[in-house]
Amino acid sequence: MSVRSAIHGTSSVIISNLFVKLPVPIGNSELSNQTFIVTGANTGLGFEASRHLSRLGVGKLIMAVRTPAKGADAKKRILNSTSRPESSIEVWPIDMDSYDSIKDFAARASQLPRLDGVLANAGIMTTNFGLSELNEKTLNVNVISTFLLYLLLLPKMRESGQQTGHICRYVIPNSALHYMAPLAELDPNNQSIIDRLNDPQKADMAGRYPLSKLLVIYAVRELAERSRSSGRGSCIINTPNPSFCKSNLASEEQENYGFRIMEKLLARSTEEGSRALVHGLLAGQESNGQYISDCHVEIPARHVTGKWGQQVQKKFFNELLQKLEKIQPGISSNI
C-alpha cells in the first residue's frame, strides 16, 4: 500500500459519502420476466438490495441465506413493504462456508428456466484467524467460495443469456479499502500467495478484509478477459463499491468508540449503499470486469493496474483456479 493509494482511498470515501447521493434504482418492463439471486439476503446490504429488486417488480427473486428461518422472516418483511405476490420471492439455503452447500445450490439454480442476475453479497469481516474448508475464513468466504459459485453458475448464466437475449450479471460487492490493502503477502516472486495467506504465523489479519477485496478485483478483471477470449458467450461480471455503510459487517468494530463516531458522521444508510449493488445488477456491457464507485466505472488502485499488479493478478488467479479445480474437477473448463 502506497501513501498515495491510502490518501486516495480515504478521500474517495469522504467525498462519496458526504457529497454524492446515489440514484434510486429505476426498473424497466423486462424485469417482470427476469430471475435474480441475492446471497446473504436476509440482512444488511443484501436485504436492502432484495427489497429494491422486489420493489422494481422482478419476476422471481431468490433470497439465498444460511438460515432459512431468517430468510423467511426477511421475505415476509420485504413483501409487506412492496405488496408483491408471495410467489415472487423464494428462500433457498446456501452456506458460503461449505463447498458442498455451494455445489448443491448451484445445481438447483442451474435448473431455473432463466437466470438474469446474481448478487454474491455474502461476505465476512474479521481480524481473527480461523479456518474454513482448510482455508483462512475471510479468504475462503469472500474470494474462493464466491468464485466457486460463479464458475459453477457460469454455464447456466451463458445459456440463459443466449436463450433470452439478456446478458446475465454476476455482481460482487467491493470497497475503497482495496486502496489500503497490505501488499507484503502478495509478492509474486515468492511462495504461493494462497499458501502465504493461509499461514497463521504470517497472516496479516488486520488487513485481511481490504486484501480480500483487492483479490476480488484481480479475479473479476482476469475472468472478464479470459471469458472474452474464450468466445463461448457473454456474462457480465463487475464489482461495485457501496462505500462505508451502517451494517452488521463490521460487528467486531461496534465496541470501538472511535468507529461508532465515524459511522455516525460518515456512513451511508444500508439502503443507500444497496443502490450501488442494484446498479451493478442492471449495468451494461461497459461494466464487465470493472470496479464501480458511485454508480460509475472507476479505475482501481495502481497496485491493480500497474505492472506489479498485473503480475500478481495472473499469479493469484492461476492459484485460485488450481484451488477451485481441487474443489470441483473440471470447473476451469467453464471459462
Q: Is 298 exposed, middle or buried (0-12, 13-18, 19+ CB in 10 A)?
A: middle
Paired strand residues for 135: 132
In this structure, which amino acid lies at residue 299?
I
Catalytic site residue 213? yes
Cell of 187: 509478492
The CA-atom distances, in angstroms, between 125 and each of 129, 130, 144 are 11, 12, 15
Q: Which of 209, 218, 315, 323 is flagged as catalytic?
A: 209
Catalytic site residue 179? no
Best CA proximity match to 153, nearest among 331, 277, 329: 331
DSSP symbol at 90: E
Q: Which of 75, 137, 156, 213 is flagged as catalytic?
A: 213
Cell of 208: 485481511
The CA-atom distances, in angstroms, between 84 and each of 32, 73, 114 are 11, 15, 20
Please, which residues have CB within 8 angstroms of residue 69's CB and are 6 or more apart in sequence?
none
Q: Cα dihedral angle (266, 271, 274, 278), rounded to 10 degrees?
A: -140
Residues annotated as catalytic (active site), given as ranges: 209, 213
